[in-house]
């Protein structure tokens, strides 16, 4: 990536036609982060002689926030819209905290590592037409992905869907309009938004909403 | 055919059977190997003693109440066990007559025994041949839908005893406190097969729990039980040495269900079958909420000198698989 930026730097200030998007194809790689997902609480209850419950201990479970890697390929659909496909990998911890034990006040925090894969697609819409010489491209976008989560040891798989909405900016670090220049632009993409997950690892069957962010480097051809 | 009768005194008394190396099941040794006691053929035909009437409970009441209890075990969708009411008999429970008979017997000398199950076992195969249940008529009984103050619920106690009749031993999934003057009071339990009954007047013991369902399904698996559930196996150690008789509970944090077993040999090994797929919390506790001889032969050395502890990680159970090699280390009290 550094070599790409250096090669394009000399042409970065060159004028572009108004509205012209440098390149039709974008490759993007970077890091992602998703916030913690609460999985709910459960009590380990015993039944009493009156039919009520006696708590043996309590448990609260979360899929912890985690960073991971993401790769995207985007294609320019219109002057202001890119369609993208993406794949990401992260390894969040599934954590269960045990408290209020009837016989052991110490409690415990237990965890396992989950391997999480997302494969999907989406749309990015540039909210302001990219103007000649523009260095910042704000956008909003949304997408859907297939969610595959493997418990520790890959012995058990949970699948579901993931939907994301959000926005961000692309910071153009270098661009070129030379006819024979293969790479047309390069820069940094910053995203923030929310992710709605259905199914996958969920203890109560409910949809969950978590914040998400990403930072990546892109090149356009 | 060589036969023995092994008497299993249920509810308050001991279970003098060798535990099988498996779930909470009875076992015996056949030709040097451990065999689980179970019925070789179903439906299990049972009879009701024709004189099983006491004040407040007619023969019809008795038959209807035990019928509901049998039906509940039979309704477990993942178990193939089935029972059939075969009629009334003049034979008494406890008589070796080839009939599995349920009925009342007046045993005032057994002042802490509500009911008892005994077996006739083919010791060449471990197959159950006959199993009788007597309910001690020196106590007051009820078959009222909502229970009756001061009377023990026949259906609840029958549900427990039918678990024994089917081959299940006691579960330690419960908490008790000592009574002044002796005995224990149940604070709560999560298994019909807990060895101590709730007090008179309650019907809280009429419903099978996850532990009971896992046990009967493991003994008589049906449908996709084996493929759709998994197991956790491993050892319990203290100071690096295996311990016998530790109570291990697998808790599903997604559903709240609990299934339990013991470390059942000198190597401290355990295996909990019938678990729902997913991560589980594993809790290890000493066997200190009931008399040890309710579970094991009194001659066996059960270690209860350790603190309740949790395995330091979640244990993931896969459908149809065994999560083996789990080692739970416990420490002295």
* Cβ-nearest to B204 among A51, A94, A151: A51
Please, are residues B246 and B284 in contact by the beta-carbon 8 Å criterion? yes
State whether residue A104 sits within 8 Å of chain B by CB: yes
Asked if residue A13 has pLDDT above 60, the reply is no
Burial of A53 (0-12, 13-18, 19+ CB in 10 A): middle
In angstroms, the separation between the Cα of residue B73 and the nearest Cα of chain A is 19
Q: Which residues of chain B have pLDDT under 50?
A: 1-24
* Cβ-nearest to A103 among B254, B308, B314: B308
- Chain A residues in contact with B255 by the CB 8 A cut-off are 42
The pTM assigned to this predicted structure is 0.88
For residue B122, the model assigns a pLDDT of: 85
For residue B13, the model assigns a pLDDT of: 29
- B204 and A47 within 8 Å at the Cβ level: the answer is yes
Please, are residues B314 and A110 in contact by the beta-carbon 8 Å criterion? yes
Please tell me the least confidently modeled range out of A106-120, A200-214, B22-36: B22-36
- A108 and B310 within 8 Å at the Cβ level: the answer is yes
- Chain A residues in contact with B321 by the CB 8 A cut-off are 155
What are A70's strand-pairing partners?
A30, A88
| A10 pLDDT tier (thresholds 50, 70, 90) | very low
Q: How many CB atoms within 10 Å of residue A136? A: 11
ipTM of this predicted complex?
Answer: 0.89
Q: Which residues contact B244 (CB under 8 A, 6 or more apart)?
A: B263, B264, B265, B266, B268, B300, B301, B302, B303
| A177 pLDDT tier (thresholds 50, 70, 90) | confident
- What percent of chain A has a predicted confidence (pLDDT) above 90? 69
Both structure tokens of A147:
């969610």
- Chain B residues in contact with A97 by the CB 8 A cut-off are none
**Cα angle vertex A97, ends A95, A99, to 5°?**
175
List Cα–Cα distances, B77 to B163, B205, B245, in angstroms. Answer: 16, 20, 30
Asked if residue A1 has pLDDT above 50, the reply is no
Mean pLDDT of A115-142: 88
For residue B25, the model assigns a pLDDT of: 58
Closest Cα partner for B57 from B182, B158, B142, B178? Answer: B142
State the DSSP H helix or E strand holding residue B162, giving kind and residue range, or none if neither. helix B154-166
B114-124 per-position pLDDT tens digit: 999 998 888 77
* Cβ-nearest to B321 among A96, A103, A155: A155
Domain pair B3-216 / B226-330, same fold: no
* Cβ-nearest to B310 among A98, A102, A155: A98
Please, are residues B274 and B229 in contact by the beta-carbon 8 Å criterion? yes
Please tell me the least confidently modeled range out of A86-100, A155-169, B22-36: B22-36
| A146 pLDDT tier (thresholds 50, 70, 90) | very high
- B258 and A151 within 8 Å at the Cβ level: the answer is no
- Chain B residues in contact with A44 by the CB 8 A cut-off are 249, 251, 256, 258, 281, 283
For residue A21, the model assigns a pLDDT of: 55
The dihedral sign for the CA sequence B158, B183, B204, B190: negative
For residue A132, the model assigns a pLDDT of: 64
**Cα angle vertex A13, ends A11, A16, to 5°?**
90
Hey, what CATH class is B3-216 in? alpha beta
- B188 and A156 within 8 Å at the Cβ level: the answer is no
- Chain B residues in contact with A96 by the CB 8 A cut-off are 253, 279, 281, 314
Mean pLDDT of A175-182: 78
State whether residue A99 sits within 8 Å of chain B by CB: no
For B:193-252, CB contacts with A below 8 A are: 198-199, 202-204, 207, 209, 249, 251-252
Q: How far apart are CA B111 and CA A19, in angstroms?
A: 95
Q: Which CATH superfamily is domain B226-330 in?
A: Immunoglobulins (2.60.40.10)
- Chain B residues in contact with A53 by the CB 8 A cut-off are 188
For residue A14, the model assigns a pLDDT of: 43
In angstroms, the separation between the Cα of residue A1 and the nearest Cα of chain B is 41
State whether residue A159 sits within 8 Å of chain B by CB: no
For residue A8, the model assigns a pLDDT of: 41
Interface test with B, best of A110, A113, A115, A159 (most B CBs within 10 A): A110
State whether residue B15 sits within 8 Å of chain A by CB: no
Which of residues B85 and A131 earns the better pLDDT score? B85
For residue A16, the model assigns a pLDDT of: 45
Q: How far apart are CA A112 and CA A42, in angstroms?
A: 18
State whether residue A51 sits within 8 Å of chain B by CB: yes
Please, are residues B12 and B195 in contact by the beta-carbon 8 Å criterion? yes
Residue ranges per structural domain of chain B: 3-216, 226-330
Which of residues A122 and B26 earns the better pLDDT score? A122
In chain A, what are the domains?
Answer: 2-36+68-96+112-220 (2.40.160.20)
Mean pLDDT of A51-55: 96
For residue B203, the model assigns a pLDDT of: 96
- A112 and B279 within 8 Å at the Cβ level: the answer is yes
Mean pLDDT of A61-72: 97
């Amino acid at each position: 990536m550094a070599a790409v930026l250096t090669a394009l730097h000399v042409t970065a200030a060159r004028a572009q036609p108004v509205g012209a998007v440098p390149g039709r194809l974008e490759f993007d790689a970077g890091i992602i982060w998703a916030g913690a997902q609460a999985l709910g609480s459960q009590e380990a209850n015993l039944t009493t002689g009156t039919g009520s419950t006696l708590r043996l201990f309590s448990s609260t479970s979360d899929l912890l926030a985690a960073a991971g890697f993401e790769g995207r390929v985007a294609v320019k659909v219109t002057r202001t819209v890119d369609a993208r496909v993406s794949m990401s990998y992260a390894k969040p911890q599934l954590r269960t905290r045990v408290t209020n034990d009837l016989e052991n006040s110490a409690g415990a925090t237990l965890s396992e590592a989950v391997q999480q894969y997302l494969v999907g697609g989406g749309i990015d819409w540039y909210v302001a037409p990219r103007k000649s010489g523009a260095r910042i491209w704000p956008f909003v976008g949304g997408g859907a992905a297939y969610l595959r989560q493997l418990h520790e040891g890959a012995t058990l798989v949970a699948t579901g869907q993931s939907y994301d909405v959000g926005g961000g900016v692309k910071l153009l670090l270098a661009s070129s309009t030379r006819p024979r220049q293969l790479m047309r632009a390069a820069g940094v993409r910053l995203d923030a938004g929310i992710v709605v997950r259905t199914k996958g690892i969920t203890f109560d069957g409910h949809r969950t909403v978590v914040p998400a962010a990403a930072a990546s480097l892109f090149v356009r051809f | 055919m060589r036969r023995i009768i092994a008497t299993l005194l249920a509810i308050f008394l001991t279970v003098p059977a060798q535990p099988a190396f498996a779930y909470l099941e009875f076992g015996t040794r056949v030709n040097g190997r451990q065999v689980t006691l179970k019925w070789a053929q179903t439906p299990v035909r049972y009879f009701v003693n024709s004189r099983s009437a006491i004040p407040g409970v007619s023969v019809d009441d008795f038959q209807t109440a035990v019928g509901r209890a049998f039906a509940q075990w039979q309704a477990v969708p993942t178990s193939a066990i089935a029972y059939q009411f075969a009629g009334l008999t003049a034979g008494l429970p406890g008589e070796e007559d080839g009939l599995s008979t349920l009925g009342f017997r007046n045993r005032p000398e057994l002042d802490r025994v509500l009911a008892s199950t005994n077996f006739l076992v083919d010791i060449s195969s471990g197959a159950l041949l006959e199993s009788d249940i007597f309910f001690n008529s020196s106590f007051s009984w009820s078959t009222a839908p909502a229970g009756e103050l001061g009377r023990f619920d026949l259906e609840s106690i029958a549900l427990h005893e039918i678990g024994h009749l089917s081959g299940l031993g006691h579960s330690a999934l419960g908490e008790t406190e000592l009574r002044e003057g002796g005995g224990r009071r149940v604070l709560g339990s999560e298994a019909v097969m807990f060895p101590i009954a709730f007090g008179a007047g309650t019907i809280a013991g009429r419903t099978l729990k996850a532990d009971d369902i896992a046990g009967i399904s493991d003994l008589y698996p049906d449908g996709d039980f084996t493929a759709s559930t998994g197991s956790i196996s491993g050892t319990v150690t203290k100071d690096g040495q295996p311990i016998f008789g530790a109570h291990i509970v697998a808790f599903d944090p997604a559903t709240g269900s609990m299934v339990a077993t013991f470390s059942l040999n000198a190597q401290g090994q355990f295996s909990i079958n019938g678990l729902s797929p997913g991560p589980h919390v594993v809790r290890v506790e000493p066997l200190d909420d009931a008399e040890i001889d309710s579970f094991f032969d009194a001659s066996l050395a059960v270690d209860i000198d350790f603190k309740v502890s949790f395995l330091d990680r979640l244990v993931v159970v896969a459908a149809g698989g065994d999560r083996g090699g789990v080692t739970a280390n416990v420490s002295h009290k």
